[in-house]
Amino acid sequence: MKIIHFDVDTELNKYFDGEKYPYTLQEITDKKKFSEVECITIKSFSYINKKTLVFFPKLKLIVTRTVGMDHIDLDYCKKMGIVVNNILDYGSFNIAEHAFALLLSGTRNIINSQKEIQKGIFSYTNYLGISLKNKRIGVVGTGKIGLEVIKRAKGFEMEVVAYDVYKNEKAAKKLDFPYITLEELAKTSDVITLHAPLLDSTKHMINKKIIRLMKKGVILINTARGGLIDTRALVNEIKKFRWVGLDVLEDEEKFTKKHPLLTFDNVVITPHIAFYSDASVKKIAEETEKIIYDFLHKI
């Protein structure tokens, strides 16, 4: 089987053999180059659809090195007889850790204090922090990542509430948290952190209506998918938030220095790196190879 890996960065490159390319499927120009390829592996910036699959007439297997699959036209792949696999978990704890990194960078003024530090001003007076102990954190989405966040929130002695269409009652009992409505979560939470998949039903779930229900001074964290938040609504209501920590953005592949959220001091943005650690890169490579191996031995 001829295999090609796309979107391969320098760290992942250490683990993969064979043909590897740093670019996305949208950047392919040579139609003949991949005509014999039977398997490709990709990341979320490569879109799988009729337009990109034209380069792979013999394709049998697609492995997306992500949990989410919203960048793939699954119906079209099924129609074409192409098997699609994702990586269900390459270390949920990685994303949970990053969610708390974004959270603490705001509650303890780690980012904002650097401006004065770099000017040679060493003073605490403008940087009163917020303790997480006894604060209510609303976790939206209680899959593997959401549950890892809850475990860490318990370590900070936070009060945890959650919202999910599919309630994990066993986990709720074990970790001692209740499920409530999204509206109630928005009204009562001091911190709101998003860990839901991007679906038609979840797109812009954080919208003008929900934001207006939130407390003044609420903190919003998103390490899931950018489309969960209506960016325009967030920009319009930005003064309501003490801190917004985002690892993902709507249309992040089109990101430029003119992005409207870059103008606010209460926003920190990281470039979709919540997953990206030494442990996760190795796990992604191992899981990718395992999926390919299992597919080959089922043929």
Give exposure, 244-268, as e/b (b: 16+ Cβ within 10 Å).
bbbbbbbebeebeeebebeeeebbb
| The one catalytic residue among 272, 287, 289, 297 | 272
Give CA–CA dist 240/243, Å, rounded: 9
**Same domain, yes or no, for 175 and 154?**
yes
**Same domain, yes or no, for 146 and 224?**
yes
What integer pLDDT is reported at residue 90 of this predicted model? 87
| The one catalytic residue among 252, 259, 289, 297 | 252
**Same domain, yes or no, for 284 and 169?**
no
Q: Tally the domains of the chain.
A: 2
**Same domain, yes or no, for 54 and 129?**
no
**Same domain, yes or no, for 81 and 107?**
no
Q: What is the mean pLDDT of each run of 10 residues along the chain (299 residues)?
A: 96 94 94 94 95 96 94 97 94 95 97 95 95 98 97 98 97 98 98 96 98 98 97 98 97 93 97 94 96 90
Q: What are phi and psi of 223, to 5 degrees?
A: -120, 20
| The one catalytic residue among 65, 71, 195, 225 | 225
**Same domain, yes or no, for 67 and 200?**
no
Radius of gyration of the chain (CA): 21
**Same domain, yes or no, for 152 and 229?**
yes
**Same domain, yes or no, for 68 and 189?**
no
**Same domain, yes or no, for 116 and 210?**
yes
What integer pLDDT is reported at residue 31 of this predicted model? 78
**Same domain, yes or no, for 35 and 166?**
no
Q: Annotated catalytic, 252?
A: yes
Q: Which residues contact 101 (CB under 8 A, 6 or more apart)?
A: none
Q: Annotated catalytic, 272?
A: yes
Contact predicate 198/223, CB 8 Å? no
**Same domain, yes or no, for 208 and 249?**
yes
Residue 25 maps to which CATH number?
3.40.50.720
User: What domain range includes position 237?
Assistant: 92-269
What integer pLDDT is reported at residue 298 of this predicted model? 85
pLDDT in tens, 30-67: 878 999 999 999 999 999 999 999 999 999 999 999 98
Q: Annotated catalytic, 38?
A: no
- Enumerate long-range contacts of 203-211, CB under 8 Å, 24 or more apart: 203/227, 203/228, 204/228, 204/229, 204/230, 204/233, 205/140, 206/230, 206/233, 206/234, 207/233, 208/233, 208/236, 208/237, 210/182, 210/183, 210/186, 211/186, 211/237, 211/240
pTM: 0.88
Give CA–CA dist 259/255, Å, rounded: 7
**Same domain, yes or no, for 162 and 264?**
yes
